Chains A and B, each alone.
Chain A
Amino acid sequence: MAIAPKKNIPELLFYSLTAVASFTVIIFIIGIIAVLLKESSLAIGKFGVVGFLTSTAWNPVTGMFGAATTIYGTFLTTGLALLFAIPTAIGIAIFVTEIAPNYLKAPIGIAIELLAAIPSIIYGMWGLFTLAPIMSKYIEPALQNSIGKLPLVGILFEGTPMGIDLLTASVILAIMIIPFTASIARDSFNLTPSVVKESAYAIGATKWEVVKNVVLPYSKLGVFGGVALSLGRALGETMAVAFVLGNSHKIATSLFDAASTITVSLANEFTEADSDIYLSSLYYLALVLFVMSFIILAIAKFFLLKAEKKYSR
């Protein structure tokens, strides 16, 4: 459909201007990869790839660095957050699309979208001032006295509940991604044709059976894409966890231990890195994070594109 630019000067100028502008995105992504590779080359050379990813060392004094502790922290907080957030978000989406009366649908939908717009630093600060004290005073001791008494899982709840720990960080991260995940899930649910739902009702299905057997299977792809997108968001989130994680480079065995994620290490140590190898190792961490989130976001995009194709048929 597009029309080739004719050979007149303003046309050519405007064409080139828009072309250059759109290529900035590609330039940025290539630039980011190139810069991260170049800056981390010192650390890549010294520690290697497998060596860096599996080493738990993080010692600015001896100059030994490894990514294992921060990758562990990143996966643990993100995993726990998704564990809390996905059922809640899907519950919200089911409630908004299938259960809520019509006059409630729009307000709750708008509320969810507004909450997804609140910057993450607000969540982080609230976590530090409000949630962390509540966690250390009530929730964590209660967990310790109940589940913590059980064998095997008890180890997860050991230690003094300080509130500045993995559990609090995961809860905040979960609260932060709930609106985001819920709004994507809601949009996917809404794409289920009402004819299909009505046919299920007509043969006597209950509301839950319609959700379980019609809506969920139909919107599977979109929901997967949404979850992957939330995972990508959570992996790269800095400010929501920076306040309450404690930035400690240890493999934590208890949910009540301080820990660190890649993003938190970067935020806390980047401007303090006093040796080349220290800064280079931080760039290496950034590279690892970038590669992980790029892969996950690409997967998310793949699912969402597939979903789009399916629904537009």
Chain B
Amino acid sequence: MNIEQKRKIESLVALTLSGLAAAIGLFWLVYILGDVLIHGLGALHISLFFNDPAAAGVEGGGLRNAFVGQLMITLVATLIGVPVGVLGGTFLAEYARGKAIARTISIISDIMVSVPSIVIGAFVYAILVRPLHHFSGWAGAFALSIIMIPVVLRTTENMLSLVPWTLREAAFALGAPYYKVIIQIVYRGAATGILTGILLSIARVAGETAPLLFTSFNNNFFSTDMNRPIASLTVTIFQYAMGPYKSWHSQAWGAALVITLFILLLTIAGRLILKWRYKQ
């Protein structure tokens, strides 16, 4: 066998291996999604959305409390996280553009995005749960907003940087103060990008479980009182899946399917908007 053939065979082997790796990787992932779909569809009944949980071990009941709780926690987290994130990103991209402080905050935000979320739960427990002596929906929402802020902040910063500087100069030339230029010109130019960032950040926090374990905790009863422990889909999935009852397991699959679909839809919507806006 000459060197030519050896090189060709080596190439073939290596490429086959990487193709195989791709197949293995995708196999597991398709397997997981398929499993969630199959088990989840079997558990999707109207009662899952409109009934409250039955007594432990009793068949039937639903997860109305968890759906409502999840929506409230996510909504409040968004209401805190989005304004703070967008304004913070504005400071970095506009007033502090190019300055050391902007770079520092950007880097810290990037690290914050990946900080273990359970540590954030422990942090919020120390400042909002223990001093008040009870778990609360507010604490859960606050924990999620801490995760959300750096995500929104970084996307906003990037999207504002994409707006051409000349656009701002044109507005300055008309005598507009900077804040008016930002609000009326720059935000308008970057609106779709920022919106995408917001959608993706909601998708990011909606599936978080760890920071909710010791902040919003869980509640087996229907409650809309954010001052008290409140149920969430993710913590309920954890509790139900680890529990001993078949009906719990099936409802956990149902909840898993709903939350997966919700997150995938948000992610796809975000990507489509980006693609449509910045055709590339």
Interface bits A229-241 vs B (CB < 8 Å: 1, else 0): 1001101111100
Q: Contact between A92 and B98 (Cβ–Cβ < 8 Å)?
A: no
Centre residue among B28, B99, B206 by max chain A CB count within 10 A: B28
> At the interface, yes or no: B90 with Cβ under 8 Å from chain A?
yes
Interface bits A184-217 vs B (CB < 8 Å: 1, else 0): 0000000000000000000000111101100000
How far, in whole Å, are A20 and B95 apart by their CA atoms in the complex?
A: 12
Q: Which of B127, B206, B208, B242 contacts A243 (CB 8 A)?
A: B242
Of the candidate stretches B43-51, B56-64, B175-183, B220-228, the one touching chain A is B175-183
Within residues 69 to 93 of chain B, which ones have a CB less than 8 A from any CB in chain A?
A: 83-92
Residue of A nearest to B240 (CB): A125
Q: Which of B99, B108, B204, B252 contacts A2 (CB 8 A)?
A: B99
Q: Which of B11, B26, B108 contacts A111 (CB 8 A)?
A: B26
Q: Which of A22, A91, A207 contacts B89 (CB 8 A)?
A: A22
Across-interface contacts of A175 in B (CB, < 8 A): 28-29, 32
Interface secondary structure of B, over-half rule:
helix
How far, in whole Å, are A87 and B237 apart by their CA atoms in the complex?
A: 32
> At the interface, yes or no: A159 with Cβ under 8 Å from chain B?
no
Interface secondary structure of A, over-half rule:
helix
Within residues 10 to 26 of chain B, which ones have a CB less than 8 A from any CB in chain A?
A: 10-12, 14-15, 17-22, 24-26
How far, in whole Å, are A117 and B202 apart by their CA atoms in the complex?
A: 11
Across-interface contacts of A95 in B (CB, < 8 A): 18-19, 21-22
Q: Contact between B22 and A22 (Cβ–Cβ < 8 Å)?
A: no
Interface bits B108-121 vs A (CB < 8 Å: 1, else 0): 11111011111111
Across-interface contacts of B252 in A (CB, < 8 A): 125
Q: Contact between A286 and B96 (Cβ–Cβ < 8 Å)?
A: no
Q: How far is the CB of B147 from chain A (nearest CB, A)?
A: 10
Could you list which residues of chain A lie within 8 angstroms of chain B, going by C-beta atoms?
1-3, 5-6, 8, 10-11, 13-15, 17-26, 28-29, 31-32, 35-36, 38-39, 87-92, 94-96, 99, 108, 110-111, 113-115, 117-126, 128-130, 175, 178-179, 182, 206-209, 211-212, 229, 232-233, 235-239, 242-243, 263, 266-267, 270-271, 282-283, 286, 289-290, 293-294, 297-298, 301, 305
22 contacts between A and B (CB under 8 A): A18-B95, A39-B126, A90-B18, A91-B22, A110-B271, A117-B204, A119-B263, A130-B35, A206-B7, A206-B11, A207-B15, A208-B10, A236-B119, A239-B209, A243-B238, A243-B242, A263-B116, A266-B118, A270-B125, A271-B213, A286-B122, A290-B116
Interchain residue pairs A-B with the least CB separation, the first 8: A91-B21, A119-B207, A236-B116, A21-B87, A22-B88, A206-B11, A18-B91, A208-B11
